[in-house]
Amino acid sequence: MKKILLLFVAIAIASCQKDKEPIDPWDAPSLVEQIATNQNWEDEYSDANITEETKFVDEYGGVRTVMTLYPGTLDELTVIYNDSLPQELYWNKSGQWTTPYGKVGDPIEVLQKANNAPISFYGLGYDLPGKVKIDSGQIADKKITYTVRPTSDVIPSEYYSYNSFDLSSKESQDLKLFINRIQIEIPKTATTTQ
């Protein structure tokens, strides 16, 4: 009787483990969660040829530690640390990294559909060109920043500004905007390195 009970328990445990879906290693929000909760998250990406350097980064106005996964490939992703605290990650190549709302290379309409509400974008020149503005909808409270650019290098002069532009206008639609950078904030409760 004990053997039958042990066999039943072993089968139940094995079937429960099969029900677990494996984590997608290219799901960026999952990576953010790993970085925030696991000091040794790099071990999960042992094939990523991770590089690390500490340097002055203009965008952040100070010295940061920059970790790069899959450097020099389409899957390149950068994690920024402020001292030993992870701050954010970003990527701008159309590799395998994804979010539930869109990936680099997707048309902006994919993002708007996932948001289920109108979105707009800021001018396409200057410091952070094409930052997507999401005031309402399913993505509004997420700590994800998207930027877009047009498929053509010829940009109408009115789009070289800091103004916000409505995606529904014909002129904006004619730009055929696509996602060219995704940046995700890492929660402040994240673990530190070293």
Q: Say yes or no to pLDDT of 53 above 70.
A: yes
CA 49/CA 143 separation, integer angstroms: 27
Q: Say yes or no to pLDDT of 47 above 90.
A: yes
Residues 179 and 106 in one domain: yes
Residue where a domain stops, chosen among 81, 98, 115: 98
Domain coverage including residue 69: 23-98
- In-domain check, residue 113: yes
CA 178/CA 181 separation, integer angstroms: 9
Residue 166 token pair: 């409505």
Residues pairing with 184 in the sheet = 89, 144
**What letter would DSSP give residue 23?**
P
Q: Which residue has the tokens 């001292």?
A: 83
CA 68/CA 49 separation, integer angstroms: 8
Q: Say yes or no to pLDDT of 7 above 50.
A: no
- In-domain check, residue 39: yes
CA 138/CA 119 separation, integer angstroms: 11
Q: Say yes or no to pLDDT of 45 above 70.
A: yes
R_g (Cα) of the chain, nearest Å: 21
**What letter would DSSP give residue 107?**
B
Residue where a domain stops, chosen among 69, 98, 127: 98
Q: Where are the beta strands (DSSP E) in the chain?
A: 51-57, 62-69, 77-82, 85-91, 120-122, 132-133, 144-150, 164-166, 177-185
Q: What is the pLDDT of residues 62-89, one digit of tens each?
A: 999 999 999 999 999 999 999 889 999 9
How many structural domains compose the chain? 2
**What letter would DSSP give residue 126?**
S
Q: What is the pLDDT of residues 9-35, one digit of tens each?
A: 455 555 554 454 567 889 999 999 999
- Predicted local distance difference test score (pLDDT) of residue 87: 95
SS3 49: coil
Which segment of 49-58, 166-175, 182-191 scores lowest on mean pLDDT?
A: 182-191
- Predicted local distance difference test score (pLDDT) of residue 67: 96
Residues 132 and 161 in one domain: yes
Q: Categorise residue 18: left if φ over 0, alpha if ψ from -120 to 50, beta otherwise.
A: alpha
Calculate the CA 36 to chain-centre distance: 14
- Predicted local distance difference test score (pLDDT) of residue 9: 47
Residue where a domain stops, chosen among 53, 75, 98: 98
Q: What is the pLDDT of residues 113-163, one digit of tens each?
A: 999 999 999 988 766 689 999 999 999 999 999 999 998 888 888 888 888
CA 27/CA 96 separation, integer angstroms: 9
Residues 53 and 31 in one domain: yes
- Predicted local distance difference test score (pLDDT) of residue 152: 85
- Predicted local distance difference test score (pLDDT) of residue 139: 93
Residue 156 token pair: 């109408």
